[in-house]
Amino acid sequence: MALNYIILIVISAFWALGFLFVKIGERSITPISEMTLRAVIATITLFIICLVLKKDLIKPLRKIRAFLLFSVLGVTIPWLGIAYSEEIISSGLAATMLAILPIFTYIISAFIFKTEKFTAHGAAGLFIALAGLVLVIGINNILSHNTTLMGALIILGAFFSYAVNGVLVPIYARDIDPFVIITYTIGFASIIIAVLAFIIEEPTMTPLNTENILALLGLAVISTAFGFSGYYLLIDRAGPFFTSLIGYLAPVFGVIFGVVFLYNRFGMLQLAGIVLVLLGIIIINKQKLRSIFMKD
């Protein structure tokens, strides 16, 4: 169990770093082209990891339809949403919005798949978390319908797609090695995103320099190849709920990285909003959290 917590903390930091790397890369690379390069580099890295670990890459191809589904819900939609949203909002705010991931997981499980019961605690937690989300986005931003609100809505859509994918993975790929799942998922996504890049942008004209090359390598290798391998490994080891606890830790890392490296500013209301979102998550998942800590 202790190993699960270590993986959770490390992956949360890797995911938060991803928002930082995206922001740095977008200084000179267009969004879809950046995600294409990210996916291609990550796919190559993951294939090397699978070969080194001697993973079977042939037999799991029987699940190709599941991999294609995961590539759309777990990579293409979220990555493009994050890329476009970070053209509008800061990396710290983007990472902060990740706190809503456990809320989405709960909503999907309770109202769509019916694997969770909707209780009074759940309703109270949702209300508190949504109130916190309003503060994180900013009341003025919501009332004025400005670009910050648009960026927030785009990234919320991206995280909703992540949450759906997190629930579907253990259903449709229960018997597949997590390293193989993420390798094929990102591999197929790299093809989809590359096609979109050539249709909408001009990826061959992307200017490369030391800054964006390092950002791309960090994004593709650390935040994606290692980060997503750990994410799927954690789903396999501890289930989607425990894995969704990334939403508790990644926002904290994201705020720290944004302030330290990009000089992001966070007001007291935004910080209070983060606290309310996390409080709402704790209330919703009170029993599960108690069972996790009691096991330790």
Residue 58 reports pLDDT greater than 60: yes
**CB-facing half-sphere around the CA of 58: CA atoms within 13 A:** 1
pLDDT of residue 296: 55
Residue 290 reports pLDDT greater than 80: no
50-to-4, 28, 130, 222 alpha-carbon distances in Å: 21, 32, 40, 16
Average pLDDT, the chain: 88
More confident residue, 172 or 255: 172
Q: Across residues 31-40, what is the average pLDDT?
A: 96
- Any idea what DSSP says for residue 173? S
Q: Kindly indicate the confidence band of residue 61, based on its pLDDT and cuts at 50, 70 and 90.
A: very high
Contacts of 121 (CB under 8 A, 6+ apart): 283, 284, 286
Residue 213 reports pLDDT greater than 70: yes
In this predicted model, what pLDDT tens digit does every residue of 97-112 receive, in sequence order? 888 887 888 888 888 8
CA-based nearest residue to 187, from 51, 36, 84? 36
pLDDT of residue 187: 97
Per domain, the residue ranges of the chain are 2-295
Q: Kindly indicate the confidence band of residue 269, based on its pLDDT and cuts at 50, 70 and 90.
A: confident
In this predicted model, what pLDDT tens digit does every residue of 74-100 receive, in sequence order? 999 999 999 999 999 888 888 888 888
Helices within 173-265 (DSSP H only) = 178-200, 210-217, 227-243, 246-262
CA-based nearest residue to 7, from 283, 293, 289, 232? 232
pLDDT of residue 294: 61
More confident residue, 296 or 232: 232
Q: Are 22 and 86 in contact (CB under 8 A)?
A: yes
Q: What CA–CA distance (Å, rounded) separates 287 from 276?
A: 19
Its pTM stands at 0.86
pLDDT of residue 293: 60
Residue 159 host element (H or E)? helix 147-172
Q: Across residues 190-209, what is the average pLDDT?
A: 93
Estimate the share of the chain in helix, then strand, then coil, as percent rounded to the nearest 5.
85, 0, 15
User: In 3-state terms, what secondary structure has residue 174?
Assistant: coil
More confident residue, 235 or 211: 211
Q: What CA–CA distance (Å, rounded) separates 231 from 69?
A: 17
Other beta carbons within 10 angstroms of residue 238's beta carbon come to: 18
Residue 1 reports pLDDT greater than 70: no
pLDDT of residue 259: 83
Q: What CA–CA distance (Å, rounded) separates 273 from 131?
A: 7
Max avg pLDDT among 65-69, 240-244, 249-253: 65-69
User: What number of residues does the chain have?
Assistant: 296
